Structure 1
Amino acid sequence: MFAARPLLRSVRLLVSLLCLMMGLALFVATPGGFAQSYQKAVWVPVDHTIERGLERFLERAFAEAQEQQADLVILHLNTPGGDVDAADQIGQLIRQSPMHTIAYIDNQAFSAGTYIALNANEIVMTPGSSMGAATPIDLAGNAADVKFISGWSKKMVAAASLNNRQPDVARAMVEIDTEFPGLKPKGTVLSLDARQAKTLGYADRVVSGKEELLASLGISGDSLQVIEPTGGEKVARWVTSPYVMSLLLIIGLVGIVVELFAPGFGVAGTISLVSFGLYFFGHYVAGFANWLHIGLFVIGIILMILEIFLPGGIVGAIGFVSIVTGLVMAAYDTQQGLASLGIAVIVTALVAFLLIKRYGVKGLFGKFVLGDAQRNEEGYVAPKDQRDLTGKSGIALTPLRPAGVVKIHGKRVDAVSAGGFLEAGTSIVVVQVEGARVIVEQE
């Protein structure tokens, strides 16, 4: 009975050795040394700046991957960072996905890009690639306030903890004014190359490139499904950038002001419409704007035009409020929309001031301003009597919509069309003169 015990121990040892050998054989047999295999994998590029348009694209990409019954999503990260709110939503999307997610970094994944990577199940890097430097900054390029940095640091730590990564490394990537012995001195932020990331547990593997990564996963390049952003999604990503938002609004508003100083719809008006069109198109594709917002903007423009013919200020004021409401509501964030619009209004006001100082009050803009001032000490000078122009012919120098400039007997005269729009070069005849108002029609 006692002699059987050593035999039993020997059998158990032999079984353990066999199991170990089988595990090693499986490890060696799998390319790259990883035994897990996947039935279907998708490749999703995450490049350029991170913004809310990227969030919408990734929502579609993950939904499409799930519809195709993929069990692996490889996010190809190459980004300098971007909007932390968008990154936060993308991180939540990755965490809630039932598919295994790998963040593949072959160049850079800084700031918000690092946060996205930390939410993935695995991080794979190539030699020469980097990650980290995740301190949030404001639009002016300065570090955010202490309260915001503290909150973002906690989010980074929480994301790192998903796969048991060292929390102090995540904090060192965010907190500038904190010293982390062995990681970084005070006054700097931590960034890691591939070797450092692997040593600190922030990279699960280091591979030479895409081919080695796919080989280690047992995936052939032919079977890999690539999900690219559509043309509309690319425009949406570009438009929803805070900087581009502000630029488009500036161009749109400045275009309107320039058009007011130059009677007749021309280059400035066209550029203005294109800018506003891009603004609404991008936000519509990204899922932030809808037809109500676009309708409010269009109604506001119409009311502003009507103010030219219905003086009093009320119609124009309602139109202005409608335009502002449409633009702000179409933005992905009301606060960001107000900030971008505020910047645009300030720049537009400055341009209008410079135009008035340089050229005076001219064009359609003059309809809002009383050109003749009555001063008691100087006496009021009545407008020049132009009744002698009645019945005389001339030619339109500018388009009349309905106001414009005509030429009669070699003299430039401000006139108004009696029958709607008249193109430049149209032969006209003066049909009526009311004080300083010269009314013409096509001859």
Structure 2
Amino acid sequence: MKHTALLIAAISGIMFYISAFSANAEERDTVYVIDIMQDIDKSSLRRLTMGLRDAEACGADYIVLHLDTYGGAVDAADSMRTAILHTPVPVVAFIDMQAASAGALISIACDSIYMRPGASIGAATVVNQNGEVMPDKYQSFMRGMMRATAEAHGRRSDGTWHRDPAIAEKMVDTAGVLSFTPDEAIQARYCEGKAEALDEVIALMGLDDCVIVEQELSPLERFVLFMMSPLLQGIFLMMIIGGIYFEVQSPGLGLPSIIAILGAVLYFSPLYIHGLALNWEIALFVAGLILLAVEIFVTPGFGVAGITGIILALTGLIFAMVDNDVLYFQGRLNLDALLRPCAVVLVSTAAGLTLSIWGASKLYPRKAFSYIAQKTELRGDEGWVGVDTQSVSGLVGTEVRAATEMYPSGKVKIGDRLYEAVMEYGSANAGDILKVVRTEGGRLYCVRLPR
């Protein structure tokens, strides 16, 4: 009986130890870390929303937003602060040196703020791409958003604000914009403490024994963010312009067309994924290319279709880089948002044309590069002749035979000579009998004769 009691006591002790160990393991908090060490834009918004979603999915108890930014797009910052305010998981901001402008708004949205010594928060005045202060209606909007964000944290038990809305509003005041050092922020209750590193932040949160999970971007996400760099975007633009230039110089679906199409895909894909390029902007660019193709392959010369195509294509490229929420701020057109995209597209276009002209002069004479574009030599011993526009005008009314397919342009043969020709309407097959009805610019315009 005594041995039985000892056995039961031993088993009970073991079970208690196991249950206590399991409970301790289960009680370890999970901290999910999101790094935002860049300007605030669509890509940083995407990174944050993905991180918040992943943190909830893995059952994180806290989210630490590791922040170092000089600001950025107001609309992206607004979406980021809204996402932070609405997430059920407590969010802690660790300001690793800078939380200026849009970064201040995002930090204030967090439940707690910790700052590295030497860091700063504030200076949330709205400026344009040139650093110039925007009109007061923009500042009023930002002041209201800063106040609302501070008020969202409510009041303390003594009735004072957890984050004083008046202080948040002063960060936007153009007359005397407010910024805080860590000590000043602590005194104003806009910072809970100072920390040199993330480990110290977690210790100040009272989470010495916790599981830290850092956000991991997939290779595809990293690649897309890399493709959005200004340098690569400029290169893609030059690929588009250069490919179109070479194709205009020597019509025919060759390597220049492939390069232009590849450049367009690489240019638009990351912008579309991150919400900058909209469907109508891509459609505008495609419409421009279609008009250019019509000008190159269908109609002679370079006229309305070609000019319109260039305008539409450039417009599509420019607007794809523009943040549409900033462009149409409160229902009014903000042309300042077009300055940087216009500069990038126009400079890249000029550079692409210059390099294309230089490259054409260097590459075309060399046989080793003859595959770059279709360059058929029109030899006299093969039936090709230079056209005298006055002598060609005397061919009106002449019956000719189509030497090639004409959809609608092609070649016709008169005797042993080949002439450039265009169908007045419809198309013709090789061997069809046609009649010349008019001439223009050395080309014969023909109609099909009834068989």
When normalised by structure 2's length, the TM-score is: 0.61
Q: Secondary structure at the match of 2:39?
A: coil
For residue 244 of structure 1, report the CA deviation from its aligned partner: 7.0
- Determine if the alignment matches structure 1 residue 228 to structure 2 residue 216: yes
Q: 2:97 aligns with which of 107, 110, 133?
A: 107
Structure 2 residue aligned with 1:280: 268
Mapping of residues 291-370 of structure 1, within 5 Å: 297-298=285-286, 300-311=288-299, 316=306, 323=313, 327=317, 328=319, 333=324, 335=327, 342-343=342-343, 346-347=346-347
1:214 paired to 2:207: no
**For 2:280 and 2:219, how far apart are their aligned partners in 1?**
24
CA distance in 1, matches of 2:280, 2:125: 37
Instruction: Classify the secondary structure of the residue corresponding to 2:125.
Output: coil
Q: 2:334 — aligned with what?
A: none
Q: Give the CA deviation at 1:156.
A: 1.4
Q: Specify whether residues 314 and 300 from structure 1 end up closer, same or farther in structure 2 by C-alpha distance, changes over 3 A only.
A: same
**Alignment correspondent of 1:434:** 419
Q: CA deviation at 1:270?
A: 7.6
- The match for 2:52 is 62
Q: Which runs of 5+ in 2 are unaligned?
A: 1-26, 154-160, 329-336, 362-366, 388-402, 406-415, 421-440, 444-451
Flag the 1:121–1:91 CA change in 2: closer, same or farther, 3 A: same
Aligned to 1:44: 34
Q: Distance in 1 between matches of 2:232 and 2:323?
A: 11
Q: Residue 150 of structure 2 aligns with which residue?
A: 160
> In the alignment, does 2:127 pair up with 1:137?
yes
Give the one of 54, 75, 93 matched to 2:83: 93
Amino acid of the structure 2 residue aligned with 1:168: A
For residues 103-130 of structure 1, the C-alpha deviation after alignment (integer angstroms, 9 at most, x for no partner) is 1112111111110000001111121111
Aligned-pair identity in percent equals: 27
Checking the alignment, whether the CA contact within 8 Å between 2:237 and 2:264 is kept in structure 1 is: no
The alpha carbon displacement at 1:162 in A equals 2.8
Deviations 1:345-367 (A, max 9, x none): 655786799899x99xx99xxxx
Rate the CA distance shift 1:419–1:197 in 2: closer, same or farther, 3 A.
farther
Partner of 1:30: none
Shift in alpha-carbon separation, 1:66–1:175, aligned structure 2, 3 A: same
State the match for 2:171 in structure 1.
173
TM-score (ref. length: structure 1) = 0.62
**1:250-277 deviation digits (Å, cap 9, x = unpaired):** 5456435653676589998787556533
Report the equivalent of 2:23: none
- Amino acid aligned to 2:264: F
How far apart in 2 are the matches of 1:138 and 1:316? 34
Kindly provide the amino acid, as one letter, of the partner of residue 153 in structure 1.
R
Letter in 1 for 2:213: Q
The residue type equivalent to 1:64 in the other structure is: D
Cα distance, 1:123–1:344 mapped onto 2, change above 3 Å: closer
Matched, 1:200 2:191: no
* SS class of match (1:224): strand
Q: 2:182–2:194: 8 Å Cα contact kept in structure 1?
A: yes
**Structure 1 residues 294 and 146: alpha-carbon distance in aligned structure 2, compared to 1, 3 A threshold:** closer
Structure 1: give runs of 5+ residues left out of the alignment.
Answer: 1-36, 178-185, 364-394, 421-430, 439-443
Q: Is the 8 A contact 1:397 1:406 kept in 2?
A: no
How far residue 403 of structure 1 moved from its aligned partner, in angstroms, is 4.9
In the TM superposition, residue 92 of structure 1 has moved relative to its aligned partner by: 0.4
Secondary structure at 1:150's aligned position in 2? helix
For 2:38, give the aligned amino acid: H
Inter-CA distance 152–247: structure 2 relative to 1 (3 Å threshold): farther
